[in-house]
Amino acid sequence: MKAVVFHGVGDIRLDDVSEPKIEEQTDAIVRLTASAICGTDLHFVRGTMTPMVEGTILGHEGVGIVEEVGRDVRNLKPGDRVVIPSTIACGYCSYCRAGYYAQCDHANPNGSDAGTAFFGGPQTSGPFHGLQAEFARVPFAHVGLVKLPAGMTDDQAIMLSDIFPTAYFGADIAGIDDGDTVAVFGCGPVGQFAIASAKLLGAGRVIAIDTVESRLEMARVQGAEIIDFNAEHPVEAVKRLTGGIGVDRVIDAVGVDAVRPESGPAAKESKQQKAEFERELEKIAPEQNPDGENWVPGNAPSQALAWAVESVCKAGTISIIGVYPEQARTFPIGQAMNKNLTIQMGNCHHRKYIPHLIDLVQSGAVDPSKVLTEREPLTDVIEAYKAFDTRQPGWVKVELKPSGQTAAGA
């Protein structure tokens, strides 16, 4: 079968690989009808989230049809249409039972303290082969697959695999109360769903910060008040728009590949921090392999975090869902401490949120396919990665069609 394979930092290829087989009685094999490219995949290729094992199939978003189930998968049968939660979890340990699927005690072969197990990730996450492929093996399929209702299209369902649940989790742990003003840093696909989720949870105002015009425009269409950090100092603008108080909650939907402003009033201050950011990046991404414009790590890993702490009001909450690797050590702890901030963060407990989000989509409260801008056949995946990596105008979220069909819907 065809699959996207990690060969090294800056080196991914569409390869012919062998099809997966049932290995445990709790496994299922799924034939994928949709996959997608996530900002997290970009961290791997840029070298800011390591170490990846050569030969790992990438991708952690998937929708498809169950082909085969192991003996201990009792709630599904071949032919069922399913969405695959990105994180892998056993469903029976105390963490899973409490909804902390991303901290499952059993799923990660590196042990209970190794962190989140997920598809297509670094050595520390399993590693498990991912979902940018024609078929996938899904461990613990009794919780690792969620059945889809008949009316839901692939374009909608693929957003429920990772990015909508992640953003909803980010809004949930931010503790948004009715009427709160929420700042969302980053207007990539996760940021777009963070804006939607903040509104679903009662936010009165949402302020969205990025610099990519088409992404800011999509945020504005959703009703967010937008700030371009290359035109205005985002912290000053947030303060001005909130009567000097700051926002109640911040969601960081940027992560380790944050960039620093190159123009406008924020560029001067950021230039003074250039050397510091460079030192951070050396520790985070000792191996880099850019190819022209592609696979260039962000040049200011802690920039979004610094702005988050400055933009939030006293006693406010910061929710960090942008991904940072273990080597990332920079956070303005003193400033946060002296403002009595609450900091929430982590990998999403996808399985906890997906059933509720399916209901929300079914009810018409939200149409997640509005964030989907590109549908590409798996055969064009490397070019699609490159366009998403450089944030080409209009490229917000890329769905991949493993079976070659690019028509919308199931």
Ligand X SMILES: NC(=O)c1ccc[n+]([C@@H]2O[C@H](COP(=O)([O-])OP(=O)(O)OC[C@H]3O[C@@H](n4cnc5c(N)ncnc54)[C@H](O)[C@@H]3O)[C@@H](O)[C@H]2O)c1
Q: Which of 315, 189, 172 shows the shortest CA–CA distance to 253?
A: 189
The answer to whether residue 347 forms part of the interface with ligand X (CB under 6 A) is yes
Tokens representing 86 are 């990105």
The answer to whether residue 360 forms part of the interface with ligand X (CB under 6 A) is no
Helix (H) or strand (E) holding 172: helix 163-173
Cα 134-19-108 angle, rounded to 5 deg: 90
Instruction: State which of positions 118-157 bind ligand X (CB under 6 A).
Output: none
Tokens representing 64 are 């498809």
3-class secondary-structure state, position 369: helix
Taking the complex as a whole, the smallest distance from the CB of residue 253 to ligand X amounts, in Å, to 5
CA dist., res. 146 & res. 63, Å (int): 10
Residue with Cβ nearer ligand X (392 or 403): 392
Pick one of Zn ion, ligand X, none as the site partner of residue 90 (Cβ within 5 to 8 A by kind): Zn ion
Taking the complex as a whole, the smallest distance from the CB of residue 303 to ligand X amounts, in Å, to 4
**x/- map, 295-324, ligand X, by CB under 6 A:** --------xx----------------xxx-
**x/- map, 226-265, ligand X, by CB under 6 A:** ---x-----------------------xxx--xx------
Pick one of ligand X, Zn ion, none as the site partner of residue 96 (Cβ within 5 to 8 A by kind): Zn ion
The answer to whether residue 172 forms part of the interface with ligand X (CB under 6 A) is no
Of 189, 246, 297, 325, the residue at the interface with ligand X (CB under 6 A) is: 189
Residue with Cβ nearer ligand X (76 or 366): 366
Q: Which of 77, 132, 83 shows the shortest CA–CA distance to 388?
A: 132
The answer to whether residue 39 forms part of the interface with ligand X (CB under 6 A) is yes
The answer to whether residue 210 forms part of the interface with ligand X (CB under 6 A) is yes
Residue with Cβ nearer ligand X (167 or 201): 167
**The dihedral sign for the CA sequence 180, 185, 187, 190:** negative
The answer to whether residue 56 forms part of the interface with ligand X (CB under 6 A) is no
Residue with Cβ nearer ligand X (208 or 366): 208
- Tell me the residue type at 237: A
The answer to whether residue 43 forms part of the interface with ligand X (CB under 6 A) is yes
Q: Are 87 and 101 in contact (CB under 8 A)?
A: yes
Q: In a 10 Å sphere around its CB, with 0-12 CB exposed, 13-18 middle and 19+ buried, how is residue 253 labelled?
A: buried
Pick one of ligand X, Zn ion, none as the site partner of residue 224 (Cβ within 5 to 8 A by kind): none
| Cα–Cα distance list, 65 to 89, 177, 338, 400 (Å) | 20, 39, 52, 15
CA dist., res. 34 & res. 8, Å (int): 25
Q: Contact positions toward ligand X, by CB under 6 A?
A: 38-40, 42-43, 162-163, 166, 185-191, 209-212, 215, 229, 253-255, 258-259, 303-304, 321-323, 347-348, 391
